[in-house]
A and B are shown apart, each in its own frame.
Chain A
Amino acid sequence: MSHRFHHLLAIEPLNREQITFLLDQAKPFQEFQRYPLKKLATLRGKTIALAFFENSTRTRISFATAASRLGADTMSLQAESSSLKKGESLIDTVRTLEAMKPDAIVIRHSSSGAAEFISRRVDVPVINAGDGTHEHPTQGLLDALTIRDRRGKLDGCKITIIGDILHSRVARSNIHLLSKFGAQITLCGPAMWLPRELECLAPNIRRVPRLEEALDGAEVVMALRIQQERLHEPSLAADEYILRYQLTPARLRLAHPDAIVLHPGPMIRGLEIDPAVADSLQSCVLEQVTNGLAVRMALLFELVAGSTDPQDHAKDSAHASH
């Protein structure tokens, strides 16, 4: 079984071995984040293009930092300043970027399928940093890494995902990833965001519109951000959402006693999550951010550097920094 990747466009087509491989590759980079000098030379001379056609702060900074810590340079294209505003097509914009000879292109776009569409037209590796309401594969990987670390294993976890599941790319990547590891997945949210078709995404998915019931026995609880800007339909009043779906300490007590809480961010305290939950020991929100760096470093390493062992590089750097 080959672990080689050319692109990372989605979690859905990956198999367990490929996912485990990426998570294992991220291990040394997790440790690396604690080093006093966070700079490797692994990707020195390489350039990573960050093509963010949709506003993003955390994911863009995470990729930029991951690239920088591997020694790579980045070039950035941002939605506001891009020539797309002047009417240039996505293909032309990306091919212009490609002509500047980057070694990988990281793309965030509001259209589902945009990363795949681009990958068919360029020769360099393409990393999907979120495409519309389709997938956000690096988020799925960093969440899996966080769950694996806290639980000790990834297999067979009971997870409850709360929010606007229909329009969530984070939910899709998590569902595809965790279901490959035998998870029992409970999806919870207002019923119009919880269509029956979600059960077709993977095995062992159930939809539970009532949060109290959905949390019963959950080992992992993931609250999603409410992404009003993506909705065409009339949106739900915030108070109504808080009343039924805010993750509060009382509700969290219905989950497994050791349950962990994940949130992909940006987190709105007092809306989808009670501050007391966000700041509790059960919350992994900041770990997720750090793990995001590790996963993205592992991925860039895998796609751009090729076949050498990241452990060696991390060790070399560790020696160098002492």
Chain B
Amino acid sequence: MLLIKNGRVIDPSSKTDARLDLLIDKGKIAKLAPSISAADALSLDAVGCIVAPGFIDLHCHLREPGGEISETIESGTQAAARGGFTAVCCMPNTQPVNDNASVTRSIMERAASVSPVHVWPIGAASKESKGEQLAEIAAMQQAGAVAVSDDGKPIASARLLRQVMDYCGPLGLPVIDHCEDSSLAAGGVMREGPRSVRLGLKGMPAAAESICTGRDVEVALLSGARLHIAHMSTRGSLEHVRSAKRRGLAVTCEVTPHHFTLIDEDVQYDSHFKMNPPLASREDRDALIEGLADGTVNAIATDHAPHHPASKDVEFDRAPFGILGFETAIALALGELVHTKRISLMRMVELFTTGPAHVLGKNGNSRALAEGSPADITLFSLDREWTYRAADSPSRSRNTPFDGRKFRGGPEATIVAGKVVYRV
């Protein structure tokens, strides 16, 4: 038994914000009350901590199979646990691509033996994510896949997207799309704007994303199935999602911590500022924060994208896209959104818990801190000062622009199925 004492419990599913103790037994929440004593339970003092339902990351890359030099399921999920995540959804752009049940099963089996957190694979939408034929979607779902996506690139055509959505609708699987008009973005390495022109780096216009988001929303209207826009970074995309929601479509979206923290003006000749979608303009970033505050955005997702140091230590235009995300997500959300009073603490917790659960079609109550619920719990502090050191990460990669950054507040402990898998 584990007793979490003296914490401030925040649970968006019941709008609870109260000082409560939590007793965990056999992987489930046994009791939730203002003051619990259990002499035979191991006690975890959560004074000064927020006690929240387990955080879910809808978007990460664990690189296994095929990219083990950059990350493995083991190293990646350890980093996720340190970041306060109790469940992570890994994208299918591995080698081989997770486009069939045997790859999905191997990921599930590997995770079961080495991962401290739940791993929920996302299957490819098309075979090898090539945008030609549908992948073995139902088989992957039976093996454990929770959504489909050709992430890394957009689902190639409106026609294919329609087929995938039509097929996934009855299966209850959301279709996640990386929105990018490839012809408009071709060759780009950062967001097009004054900074790209100054640095002489080829830009991708914001419209390259928004155009594709617009296409996707129209296809969602046609199909009626669930569509989720990955790592949204432009005002234009946000407007498309907003109007889709107004029309009652099942369209959701996520924003990454780096897109609400950094902007294109921050880009240096340093590949740790190179990601796709690229860092947005200040105006687009401000719009994203507005969307996070007003409910248009459903989730904060990390897009944790490890790349081993040698691959990133090259000329900017030759480096791969992507940065680490797990361990800085909570601290960036606190620092950029909560401490600055852009969103409430309750809203922030929602963006990491019931929000992503809703995207996956899971009942929000599945994340509730209630007696009988699975004991997946994230503890974080609001005020503890700490410095992020990439060198200390269990990740096999170090590609982050936040190395050495000082934070106020961050993950304190991560509990998965009643077991403490990480503690500061």
Identify the A interface with B (CB < 8 A). 12, 89-91, 109, 111-114, 116-117, 131-135, 166-167, 169, 172, 195, 197-198, 200-201, 232
Q: Does B246 contact A (CB under 8 A)?
A: no
Would you list 19 pairs from A and B whose C-beta atoms are within 8 A, ordered by A residue?
A: A90-B314, A91-B314, A111-B315, A112-B317, A113-B199, A113-B200, A113-B201, A113-B315, A113-B316, A116-B269, A117-B316, A131-B200, A132-B200, A132-B201, A134-B199, A167-B200, A197-B194, A197-B196, A200-B198
Highest count of chain B CB atoms <10 Å: which of A109, A116, A197: A197
Could you say which residues of chain B place their CB within 8 Å of the CB of A117?
269-270, 315-316
In the complex, what's the smallest C-beta–C-beta distance from B314 to chain A, in angstroms?
6
Could you say which residues of chain A place their CB within 8 Å of the CB of B39?
none
Highest count of chain A CB atoms <10 Å: which of B196, B198, B316: B198
Q: Are A197 and B313 neighbours in the complex by a CB distance under 8 Å?
A: no
Q: Does B186 contact A (CB under 8 A)?
A: yes
In the complex, what's the smallest C-beta–C-beta distance from B181 to chain A, in angstroms?
14
Chain B contact residues, majority secondary structure = loop
A243 to B313, CA, bound (A): 45
A114 to B201, CA, bound (A): 11
Q: Does B19 contact A (CB under 8 A)?
A: no
In the complex, what's the smallest C-beta–C-beta distance from A113 to chain B, in angstroms?
3
A163 to B270, CA, bound (A): 29
Q: Are B200 and A134 neighbours in the complex by a CB distance under 8 Å?
A: yes
Chain B residue nearest to A9 in the complex (CB) = B269
Chain A residue nearest to B318 in the complex (CB) = A111
Q: Does B187 contact A (CB under 8 A)?
A: yes
In the complex, what's the smallest C-beta–C-beta distance from B162 to chain A, in angstroms?
30
6 closest cross-chain pairs (CB), A and B: A113-B269, A134-B200, A111-B315, A133-B200, A112-B200, A200-B194
Could you say which residues of chain A place their CB within 8 Å of the CB of B110?
none
A12 to B195, CA, bound (A): 13
Q: Are B193 and A112 neighbours in the complex by a CB distance under 8 Å?
A: no
Q: Tell whether A111 pairs with B187 under 8 Å between CB atoms, given A117-B269, A132-B200, A135-B200.
A: no
Q: Are B313 and A169 neighbours in the complex by a CB distance under 8 Å?
A: no
Could you say which residues of chain A place their CB within 8 Å of the CB of B198?
12, 172, 197, 200-201
Chain B residue nearest to A131 in the complex (CB) = B200
A301 to B186, CA, bound (A): 43
Chain A residue nearest to B315 in the complex (CB) = A111
Highest count of chain B CB atoms <10 Å: which of A112, A116, A167: A112
Highest count of chain A CB atoms <10 Å: which of B197, B200, B201, B314: B200
Q: Does B358 contact A (CB under 8 A)?
A: no
Q: Are B197 and A89 neighbours in the complex by a CB distance under 8 Å?
A: no
Could you say which residues of chain B place their CB within 8 Å of the CB of A135?
200
A294 to B314, CA, bound (A): 33
Highest count of chain B CB atoms <10 Å: which of A12, A91, A111, A232: A111
Chain A residue nearest to B194 in the complex (CB) = A200
Q: Are A111 and B197 neighbours in the complex by a CB distance under 8 Å?
A: no
Q: Are A112 and B313 neighbours in the complex by a CB distance under 8 Å?
A: no
Q: Are A169 and B197 neighbours in the complex by a CB distance under 8 Å?
A: no
Q: Are A91 and B269 neighbours in the complex by a CB distance under 8 Å?
A: no
Which of A114, A116, A131, A200 lies in contact with B197, CB distance below 8 A?
A200
A197 to B314, CA, bound (A): 27
Which of A111, A172, A197 lies in contact with B317, CB distance below 8 A?
A111
In the complex, what's the smallest C-beta–C-beta distance from B383 to chain A, in angstroms?
35
Could you say which residues of chain B place their CB within 8 Å of the CB of A89?
310, 313-314
Which of B187, B193, B202, B310 lies in contact with A197, CB distance below 8 A?
B193
A263 to B180, CA, bound (A): 39
Could you say which residues of chain B place their CB within 8 Å of the CB of A131?
200
In the complex, what's the smallest C-beta–C-beta distance from A166 to chain B, in angstroms?
7
Q: Tell whether A232 pairs with B186 under 8 Å between CB atoms, given A117-B269, A134-B199, A200-B198.
A: yes
In the complex, what's the smallest C-beta–C-beta distance from A298 to chain B, in angstroms?
25
A178 to B33, CA, bound (A): 71
Which of B192, B194, B201 lies in contact with A112, CB distance below 8 A?
B201
A109 to B88, CA, bound (A): 41
Chain A residue nearest to B269 in the complex (CB) = A113
Chain B residue nearest to A176 in the complex (CB) = B198
Q: Tell whether A114 pairs with B315 under 8 Å between CB atoms, given A89-B310, A197-B194, A232-B187.
A: yes
A113 to B190, CA, bound (A): 13
Could you say which residues of chain B place their CB within 8 Å of the CB of A109?
315
Chain A residue nearest to B188 in the complex (CB) = A232
Could you say which residues of chain B place their CB within 8 Å of the CB of A166?
197
A169 to B200, CA, bound (A): 8
Within 8 A of A (CB), among B293-317: 310, 313-317
Q: Tell whether A172 pairs with B200 under 8 Å between CB atoms, given A111-B315, A197-B194.
A: yes
Could you say which residues of chain B place their CB within 8 Å of the CB of A172?
198, 200
Chain A residue nearest to B311 in the complex (CB) = A89
Q: Tell whether A112 pairs with B269 under 8 Å between CB atoms, given A134-B200, A197-B194, A197-B197.
A: yes
Chain B residue nearest to A166 in the complex (CB) = B197
Q: Are B315 and A90 neighbours in the complex by a CB distance under 8 Å?
A: yes
Chain A residue nearest to B271 in the complex (CB) = A117
In the complex, what's the smallest C-beta–C-beta distance from B205 to chain A, in angstroms?
10
In the complex, what's the smallest C-beta–C-beta distance from B190 to chain A, in angstroms?
10
